[in-house]
Structure 1
Amino acid sequence: MLNIWGVMLFIRLSWIVGEAGIGLGVLIILLSTMVTSITGLSTSAIATNGFVRGGGAYYLISRSLGPEFGGSIGLIFAFANAVAVAMYVVGFAETVVDLLKESDSMMVDPTNDIRIIGSITVVILLGISVAGMEWEAKAQVILLVILLIAIANFFIGTVIPSNNEKKSRGFFNYQASIFAENFGPCFTKGEGFFSVFAIFFPAATGILAGANISGDLEDPQDAIPRGTMLAIFITTVAYLGVAICVGACVVRDATGNMNDTIISGMNCNGSAACGLGYDFSRCRHEPCQYGLMNNFQVMSMVSGFGPLITAGIFSATLSSALASLVSAPKVFQALCKDNIYKALQFFAKGYGKNNEPLRGYILTFLIAMAFILIAELNTIAPIISNFFLASYALINFSCFHASYAKSPGWRPAYGIYNMWVSLFGAVLCCAVMFVINWWAAVITYVIEFFLYVYVTYKKPDVNWGSSTQALSYVSALDNALELTTVEDHVKNFRPQCIVLTGGPMTRPALLDITHAFTKNSGLCICCEVFVGPRKLCVKEMNSGMVKKQAWLMKNKIKAFYAAVAADCFRDGVRSLLQASGLGRMKPNTLVIGYKKNWRKAPLTEIENYVGIIHDAFDFEIGVVIVRISQGFDISQVLQVQEELERLE
Structure 2
Amino acid sequence: MATVTEGNEQQPEQTFNSLNRSPYHVKFSDNNQSFSQQQINTNQDNISSSSRHGSLSSTEKSGRFVVVKSSEVSDTNENDAINNINSTTENEKLPLQTGQTSDTSIKLNESIYEERDDRPRTVLDQLYNYKGGIVPNAAEADKPTGNQQKSANLGTIFGVYLPCVQNIFGVIVFIRLFWLIGIAGALQTLLIVLICSSCTLLTAISMAAIATNGLVPAGGAYFMISRSLGPEFGGAVGILFYLGNTFAASMYIVGAVEIVVKYMCPEKCRLFGDDVEKPLIAFNHYRIYGTILLLLIGTCVLIGIRFVTKIAPFSLFAVVISILAIYAGVIKSSFSPPDLPICLVGSNPSHLIKSNVLNNDIRRYCHADKWCNEGNETIPCPLYASICNKTINTLCSPDGHINDVRIEQGVPGLKHWQLSENLFSHYRAEGEIERDIKGDATFEVVAQELTTFLILVGIYFPSVTGIMAGSNRSGDLRDPSRSIPRGTIAAILTTSFVYLSNVIFLAACTHGSLLRDKFGDSINKQLVVSVLAWPSKWVIMIGAFCSTVGAGLQTLTGAPRLLQAVAKDDLIPILRPLAKSWRGEPIPALFLTLFICECGILIADVDKLTALLSMFFLLCYGFVNLACALQTILKAPSWRPRFRFYHWILSCIGVVLSVSIMFIASWYFAFIAMLIAIIIYKFIEYKGAEKEWGDGIRGLSMSAARYALYRVDEAPPHTKNWRPQLLAFISIERNDENETYTLRHSKIFNFLYQLKAGRGFVVAANVLEGDYLEKHQQIEPIRALLKSGLAQAKIQGFAEVLAAKDVEDGLSTLIQTEGLGGLRPNTIVICWPTQWRKDFDSFTAEAFIRTIAIAEVRQCAVIVPKNIDNFPDLKENQDGTIDIWWIIHDGGLLFLIAFLLKRNKVWSHCRIRLFTVTQIEDNSVAMKRDLEKYMYQLRIQAEVDVVEMADQEISAYAYERSLRLAERIKLLKDLKLGDKDLQLQSQIPMETIINSQQQQQRRSSFDDSNNQYHYTFTPNQLESFKHNVTESSMRKMHSAVRLNEQIKERSRDAKLVLINLPSPPTKQSTLAAYSYMEYVDVLTEGLDRLLLMRGSGREVITIFS
Please point out which of 232, 241, 244 is paired with 1:68.
232
2:859 is the alignment partner of 1:620: yes
Secondary structure at the counterpart of residue 173 of structure 1: coil
Q: Deviations over 1:335-368 (max 9, x none)?
A: 222222222333322211x2x1223323322333
Please point out which of 595, 598, 621 is paired with 1:392.
621
Match of 2:419 in 1: 179
Match of 1:552 in 2: 790
Structure 2 stretches lacking a partner, 5+ long: 1-164, 277-281, 343-408, 430-449, 733-741, 872-1105
Contact 1:500 1:527 in 2 (8 A): yes
Match of 2:489 in 1: 229
Secondary structure at the counterpart of residue 562 of structure 1: strand
Contact 1:502 1:526 in 2 (8 A): no
Offset, 1:33 = 0.6
Q: Partners in 2 of 1:629 and 1:13 — Cα distance? A: 74
Contact 2:201 2:489 in 1 (8 A): yes
Contact 1:42 1:395 in 2 (8 A): yes
Contact 1:520 1:558 in 2 (8 A): no
2:462 is the alignment partner of 1:462: no
Counterpart of 2:340, as a letter, is: K
2:476 is the alignment partner of 1:216: yes
2:649 is the alignment partner of 1:420: yes
Contact 1:15 1:296 in 2 (8 A): no
Contact 1:515 1:558 in 2 (8 A): no
Change in 2 beyond 3 A, CA 1:305/1:629: closer
Most deviating of 152-161 and 165-174: 165-174
Counterpart of 1:383, as a letter, is: L
Match of 1:639 in 2: none
Q: Partners in 2 of 1:72 and 1:402 — Cα distance? A: 19
2:267 is the alignment partner of 1:38: no
Change in 2 beyond 3 A, CA 1:139/1:563: same
Most deviating of 175-184 and 416-425: 416-425
Structure scoring higher RCO (CA < 8 A, sep ≥ 6) equals 1
Please point out which of 565, 577, 580 is paired with 1:346.
577
Match of 2:215 in 1: 51
Match of 1:197 in 2: 457
State how 1:101-140 maps to structure 2 within 5 Å: 101=265, 106-108=270-272, 109-110=275-276, 111=282, 112-140=284-312
Most deviating of 459-468 and 186-195: 459-468
Cα RMSD for the two superposed structures: 2.9
Change in 2 beyond 3 A, CA 1:394/1:631: closer
Q: Give TM-score scaled by structure 1 length.
A: 0.85
Offset, 1:457 = 1.4
2:663 is the alignment partner of 1:434: yes
Q: Deviations over 1:238-259 (max 9, x none)?
A: 111111111111112359xxxx
Change in 2 beyond 3 A, CA 1:12/1:546: same
Offset, 1:143 = 2.0
Counterpart of 2:188, as a letter, is: L
Q: Partners in 2 of 1:514 and 1:102 — Cα distance? A: 74
Contact 1:7 1:88 in 2 (8 A): yes
Most deviating of 101-110 and 370-379: 101-110
Offset, 1:628 = 3.1
Offset, 1:374 = 3.8
Contact 1:523 1:585 in 2 (8 A): no
Offset, 1:102 = 7.0
Secondary structure at the counterpart of residue 727 of structure 2: strand
Please point out which of 500, 503, 506 is paired with 1:243.
503
Offset, 1:469 = 1.8
Change in 2 beyond 3 A, CA 1:306/1:630: closer
Offset, 1:146 = 2.4
Q: Give TM-score scaled by structure 2 length.
A: 0.51
Contact 2:235 2:571 in 1 (8 A): yes
Q: Partners in 1 of 2:556 and 2:232 — Cα distance? A: 25
Change in 2 beyond 3 A, CA 1:597/1:107: closer
Q: Deviations over 1:275-332 (max 9, x none)?
A: xxxxxxxx99xx95149xx853324433333222223212211111111111221112
Offset, 1:229 = 0.7
Change in 2 beyond 3 A, CA 1:192/1:349: same
Secondary structure at the counterpart of residue 14 of structure 1: helix
Counterpart of 2:411, as a letter, is: F
Offset, 1:426 = 1.9
Change in 2 beyond 3 A, CA 1:565/1:371: closer
Contact 2:338 2:532 in 1 (8 A): no
Please point out which of 7, 29, 35 is paired with 2:193.
29
Offset, 1:162 = 2.8
Q: Partners in 1 of 2:756 and 2:665 — Cα distance? A: 49
Change in 2 beyond 3 A, CA 1:321/1:627: closer
**Is the strand fraction higher in 1 or 2?**
2
Match of 1:89 in 2: 253
Q: Partners in 1 of 2:810 and 2:190 — Cα distance? A: 74
Most deviating of 105-114 and 358-367: 105-114
Secondary structure at the counterpart of residue 340 of structure 2: helix
Q: Partners in 2 of 1:307 and 1:596 — Cα distance? A: 92
Most deviating of 579-588 and 361-370: 361-370
Secondary structure at the counterpart of residue 253 of structure 1: helix
Counterpart of 1:330, as a letter, is: R
Counterpart of 2:301, as a letter, is: S
Match of 1:141 in 2: 313
Offset, 1:125 = 1.1
Match of 1:10 in 2: 174
Q: Deviations over 1:169-222 (max 9, x none)?
A: 511221111111111112232111122222211110011110111111111111
Contact 1:42 1:396 in 2 (8 A): yes
Structure 1 stretches lacking a partner, 5+ long: 256-282, 633-648
Match of 2:681 in 1: 452
Secondary structure at the counterpart of residue 123 of structure 1: helix
Offset, 1:101 = 4.8
Q: Deviations over 1:470-508 (max 9, x none)?
A: 222222222121112665223322223433333382233
Q: Deviations over 1:357-412 (max 9, x none)?
A: 22332332233333334443333322322222222222222223333444444333
Please point out which of 519, 522, 525 is paired with 1:289.
522
Change in 2 beyond 3 A, CA 1:114/1:585: closer
Contact 1:519 1:558 in 2 (8 A): no
Most deviating of 553-562 and 598-607: 598-607
Match of 1:330 in 2: 561
Q: Partners in 1 of 2:636 and 2:686 — Cα distance? A: 25
Contact 1:499 1:527 in 2 (8 A): yes
Greater C-alpha Rg? 2
Q: Partners in 2 of 1:107 and 1:569 — Cα distance? A: 86
Counterpart of 1:357, as a letter, is: P
Contact 2:748 2:868 in 1 (8 A): no
Match of 2:917 in 1: none
Change in 2 beyond 3 A, CA 1:625/1:177: closer
Q: Partners in 2 of 1:522 and 1:588 — Cα distance? A: 10
**Is the helix fraction higher in 1 or 2?**
1
Change in 2 beyond 3 A, CA 1:377/1:506: same
Change in 2 beyond 3 A, CA 1:21/1:594: closer
Contact 1:501 1:511 in 2 (8 A): no
Q: Deviations over 1:505-550 (max 9, x none)?
A: 2233455545543555334333333333453234433553344334
State how 1:429-578 maps to structure 2 within 5 Å: 429-484=658-713, 488-503=717-732, 505-510=743-748, 512-513=750-751, 516-517=754-755, 520-542=758-780, 544-578=782-816
Offset, 1:156 = 1.7
Contact 2:662 2:670 in 1 (8 A): yes
Q: Partners in 2 of 1:25 and 1:520 — Cα distance? A: 57
Secondary structure at the counterpart of residue 644 of structure 2: coil
State how 1:363-382 maps to structure 2 within 5 Å: 363-382=592-611
Offset, 1:107 = 4.1
Q: Partners in 2 of 1:8 and 1:116 — Cα distance? A: 22
